[in-house]
Amino acid sequence: MWALLEVLRKVFAPTYRKHWQPAIEQAQRENPWYIPRHIHIALNAWYEALEPEKVHQWLAAYPSLPNTPPAEKPLPTLAIIPAANIPLVGLHDMLCGLVAGYQIRIRYSERDRTLYRFLWTTCFQHLPWLQTRIHEVERLKKGEYHTVIATGTSHTASLFQKYFAHVPALIRGTRTSCAILWGDESDDHLHNLCADLFLHFGLGCRNVSCLIVLNEHTLTRLTPHFQTYTYVRHHELYFTNWEYWYAAALVERQPHIYTPELILRKDTNPFSPIGVVHFWQPANNEELLTWLHQHATHLQCIVSIRPLNANLPIPIVPPGKTQFPNLWDYPDNTDTLQFLLNVREQLLQQPTAQPTNLPNP
């Protein structure tokens, strides 16, 4: 598996980027939200995550990782339905499945296939054995997999729960992230925070959609940094959303702060629409902690320059780093790799691990 991790890092390296160009152009045609600027940022994030020292740190926490599959047992099969909100967001689940010793069947979104196809086709050229481990499918049929990881909206998550109730499943719904502005952030902190607001047009679960402001003067210092991201106004889909919500704020007389790049709307809801970020000011720390506990199941991470003594299962991330997670930063604070290892151990103790309807690769 080390060979795969090394190949992946080489493919994500800036020196290999010219080979990605046709796939990047096709990905934008496939999904207009995937602009080249953001795709390159996603590739850079993976290049950083796959640094050898970080990979060692990640895998060192799992002494039960399989070296080679038992000869008498077929590989268990993992079905994956990845999200399609930001580029390559489902790759971490695929990587966990491969590291845990699974054969993988992937049902891609029609709007998010090209980058994965280019990545795996390139890896197949260096590692031919990998072709027997990864299979793209148009439909996931019952009996063709042992376990599932499916990501979608909160609505589709409830449907996934029912459809995959017959196997161990890791189901993820809609989440978002927030930032706490204490008032003593530096200009660099505020500049970096803008990346958490604007990258991928705010569509990721790790994007900040709500600002908790201890001192509203901080917003006055923050908004000038938005000018770094003026390009979002030239994206038709984003601008259409921004324009609609700005008009709604005016018509409905909602308290808000206008900027050409983003509407800051006064609201305690952790979720905000595209082109809008909510903000609110707690009366005291107790109100802040109460809000965090109330919305803990909706938050992927919290951006803050200070630690929180709140006993919350939510990672604290420095400004500017939400879109650069480490390999051990698992979605929903659920250890994906350990989940798959536990399921695999249970399967290997059964008489057969082969699904009844699984075709030969």
Work out the average pLDDT over 328-341.
Answer: 96
Task: Check whether residue 143 and residue 18 sit in a common domain.
Answer: yes
Amino acid identity of residue 300, one-letter, is Q
**Is 232 within the bounds of a domain?**
yes
Task: Check whether residue 187 and residue 159 sit in a common domain.
Answer: no
**Is 243 within the bounds of a domain?**
yes
Asked whether the predicted pLDDT for residue 357 surpasses 70, the reply is: no
Angle at 100 between CA 98 and CA 104, to 5 degrees: 40
Average pLDDT, the chain: 93
Q: Give the Cα separation of 316 and 178 in Å (integer).
A: 10
24, 69 in Cβ contact below 8 A?
Answer: no
Q: How many domains does the chain have?
A: 2
pLDDT range class, residue 137, cuts 50, 70, 90? very high
Task: Check whether residue 35 and residue 61 sit in a common domain.
Answer: yes
Q: What is the 3-state secondary structure (H, E, C) of the chain?
A: CHHHHHHHHHHHCHHHHHHHHHHHHHHHHHCCCCCHHHHHHHHHHHHHHCCHHHHHHHHCCCCCCCCCCCCCCCCCEEEEECCCCCCCCCHHHHHHHHHCCCEEEECCCCCCCHHHHHHHHHHHHHCHHHHHCEEECCCCCCCCCCEEEEECCHHHHHHHHHHCCCCCEEEECCCEEEEEECCCCCHHHHHHHHHHHHHHHHCCCCCEEEEEECCCHHHHHHHHHHHHHHHHHHCHHHHHHHHHHHHHHHHCCCCEECCCCCEEEECCCCCCCCCEEEEECCCCHHHHHHHHHHCHHHEEEEECCCCCCCCCCCCEECCCCCCCCCCCCCHHHCCHHHHHHHHHHHHHCCCCCCCCCCCCC
Task: Give the domain extent around 56.
Answer: 2-174+329-348
CATH code, domain carrying 336: 3.40.605.10
Task: Check whether residue 152 and residue 183 sit in a common domain.
Answer: no
Count CB neighbours of 7 within 10 A.
Answer: 18
Per-residue pLDDT tens digits for 39-71: 999 999 999 999 999 999 999 999 988 765 544
pLDDT of residue 58: 97
360, 201 in Cβ contact below 8 A?
Answer: no
**Is 353 within the bounds of a domain?**
no
**Is 357 within the bounds of a domain?**
no
176, 331 in Cβ contact below 8 A?
Answer: no
Percent of the chain with pLDDT over 70: 95
Structure tokens at 274: 């595209």
Asked whether the predicted pLDDT for residue 24 surpasses 90, the reply is: yes
pLDDT range class, residue 351, cuts 50, 70, 90? low
Asked whether the predicted pLDDT for residue 361 surpasses 70, the reply is: no
pLDDT of residue 354: 54
Asked whether the predicted pLDDT for residue 196 surpasses 60, the reply is: yes
Q: Give the Cα separation of 213 and 215 in Å (integer).
A: 5
Task: Check whether residue 206 and residue 339 sit in a common domain.
Answer: no
Task: Check whether residue 148 and residue 37 sit in a common domain.
Answer: yes
Work out the average pLDDT over 316-339.
Answer: 97
Task: Check whether residue 87 and residue 134 sit in a common domain.
Answer: yes
Asked whether the predicted pLDDT for residue 179 surpasses 90, the reply is: yes
276 CB-near residues (< 8 Å, 6+ apart): 242, 245, 262, 263, 264, 265
**Is 361 within the bounds of a domain?**
no
pLDDT of residue 349: 83
pLDDT of residue 66: 77
Task: Check whether residue 130 and residue 220 sit in a common domain.
Answer: no
Work out the average pLDDT over 226-245.
Answer: 98
Asked whether the predicted pLDDT for residue 222 surpasses 50, the reply is: yes
Task: Check whether residue 167 and residue 183 sit in a common domain.
Answer: no
**Is 251 within the bounds of a domain?**
yes
Task: Check whether residue 298 and residue 344 sit in a common domain.
Answer: no
pLDDT range class, residue 348, cuts 50, 70, 90? confident
CATH code, domain carrying 195: 3.40.309.10
Asked whether the predicted pLDDT for residue 360 surpasses 60, the reply is: no
Asked which of 131-145, 243-257, 259-273 is least confident by mean pLDDT, the reply is 131-145
Angle at 70 between CA 65 and CA 75, to 5 degrees: 80
Asked which of 85-94, 246-255, 347-356 is least confident by mean pLDDT, the reply is 347-356
**Is 323 within the bounds of a domain?**
no
Asked whether the predicted pLDDT for residue 162 surpasses 60, the reply is: yes
pLDDT of residue 51: 98
Task: Check whether residue 216 and residue 70 sit in a common domain.
Answer: no
Task: Check whether residue 181 and residue 164 sit in a common domain.
Answer: no
